[in-house]
């Protein structure tokens, strides 16, 4: 019937309309690639279409660097879309334990014999006794691996404290810009005194911009008293406290931190052993002791009476 059996002259085949290759790649990527790799494919598509093969234009459009754009453009392979996936970045050759069993046994024996000695002294003793070289790093690794410490419990607590300190990074006062509005930054401190055999604490505060001061007497420097002082101060200034600046004393931990979180007050801290970070309040502390406490007839025997006398002095001495 037909001269060529593979052709049908009565029903000619319809032409196949192939989709654009970039559209095909996009559909395939949705099923085979991760989301970050699909984003990278969009960079490549934009680069070859709208971007007109201009890396600067493409990088600017997607907010990436030209270096990143060129890196993935070179790595891209049309026949293998998996080339846009991130490669394993783990090192091929990891560090291994370099201390021999003989060195371990010798270091352990020396450490147990001289438990208080450090790694540098142990290094000298090791070389004198065994006539072989060893590094302090190897000695330290053996001590750490087998927990050869004079007081393991205390060492564990020190490690925990150090890790907690690193985790809770604090903001230093030197990182805070100069305030321009009242109440943005308040400096808080505690004056610890012994008044005829009894412990007394005067919590003080001063506003950074106007230098308005406030003080109150307490029986101890417990964090509960520091939190009470903060709440009273906030009430007096109608809630205008954004940041509280203090040192790293224990009175400003615990209940004081909880009060700051509850009231939405940020905390900034002085640098260690740097009283100049809180110079204005240090001067106010001296003024309270020199102009009020040294001349006061009430003293600190009775705390309520002392607070009434201190409040009257603060009101009268404020210009």
Does 2 have pLDDT greater than 70? no
pLDDT tens, residue by residue, 140-192:
999 999 999 999 899 888 888 888 776 667 788 998 999 999 999 999 999 99
Residue 51 domain flag: yes
pLDDT tens, residue by residue, 279-295:
999 999 999 999 999 99
Residue scoring higher pLDDT (18 or 155): 155
pLDDT tens, residue by residue, 109-147:
999 999 999 999 999 999 999 999 999 999 999 999 999
Structural element, H or E, at residue 298: none
Residue scoring higher pLDDT (7 or 144): 144
> How many domains does one find in the chain?
3
Q: Which domain holds residue 119?
A: 101-167
Confidence of residue 272 (pLDDT cuts 50, 70, 90): confident
Tokens coding 68? 């990143």
Does 1 have pLDDT greater than 60? no
| Beta-sheet pairing, 213-218 with 198-207 | antiparallel
Does 273 have pLDDT greater than 90? no
Same-domain check for residues 122 and 222: no
Same-domain check for residues 144 and 35: no
Same-domain check for residues 289 and 228: yes
Tell me the average pLDDT across 186-201: 95
Q: In what order do the strands lie in the sheet with 243-246?
A: 213-218, 198-207, 185-195, 243-246, 266-269
Question: What are the residues facing 206 on neighbouring strands?
Answer: 187, 213
Same-domain check for residues 142 and 57: no
Tell me the average pLDDT across 42-52: 92
Same-domain check for residues 28 and 77: yes
Q: What is the CATH number of the domain that holds 297?
A: 3.30.420.10
């Amino acid at each position: 019937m037909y001269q060529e059996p593979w052709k049908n002259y009565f029903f000619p085949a319809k032409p196949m309309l192939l989709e654009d290759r970039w559209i095909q790649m996009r559909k395939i990527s949705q099923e085979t690639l991760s989301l970050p790799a699909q984003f990278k494919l969009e960079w490549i598509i934009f680069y070859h279409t709208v971007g007109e093969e201009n890396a600067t234009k493409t990088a600017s459009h997607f907010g990436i660097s030209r270096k990143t754009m060129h890196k993935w453009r070179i790595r891209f392979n049309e026949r293998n879309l998996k080339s846009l996936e991130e490669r394993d970045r783990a090192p091929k050759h990891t560090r291994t334990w370099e201390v021999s069993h003989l060195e371990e046994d010798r270091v352990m024996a020396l450490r147990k014999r001289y438990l208080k000695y450090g790694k540098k002294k142990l290094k000298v003793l090791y070389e004198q006794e065994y006539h072989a070289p060893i590094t302090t790093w190897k000695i330290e690794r053996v001590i750490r691996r087998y927990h050869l410490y004079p007081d393991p419990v205390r060492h564990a607590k020190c490690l925990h404290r150090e890790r907690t300190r690193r985790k809770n990074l604090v903001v230093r006062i030197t990182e805070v810009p100069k305030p321009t509005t009242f109440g943005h930054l308040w400096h808080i401190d505690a004056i610890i005194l012994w008044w005829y055999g009894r412990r007394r604490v005067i919590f003080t505060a001063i506003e950074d911009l106007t230098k308005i001061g406030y003080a109150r007497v307490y029986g101890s420097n417990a964090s509960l008293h520091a939190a009470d002082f903060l709440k009273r101060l906030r009430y007096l200034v109608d809630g205008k406290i954004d940041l509280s600046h203090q040192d790293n004393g224990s009175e400003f931990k615990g209940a004081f931190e909880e009060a700051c979180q509850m009231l939405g007050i940020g905390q900034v801290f002085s640098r260690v052993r740097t009283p100049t970070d809180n110079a204005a309040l240090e001067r106010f502390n001296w003024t309270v002791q020199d102009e009020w406490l040294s001349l006061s007839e009430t003293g600190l025997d009775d705390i309520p009476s002392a607070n009434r006398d201190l409040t009257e002095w603060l009101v009268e001495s404020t210009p």
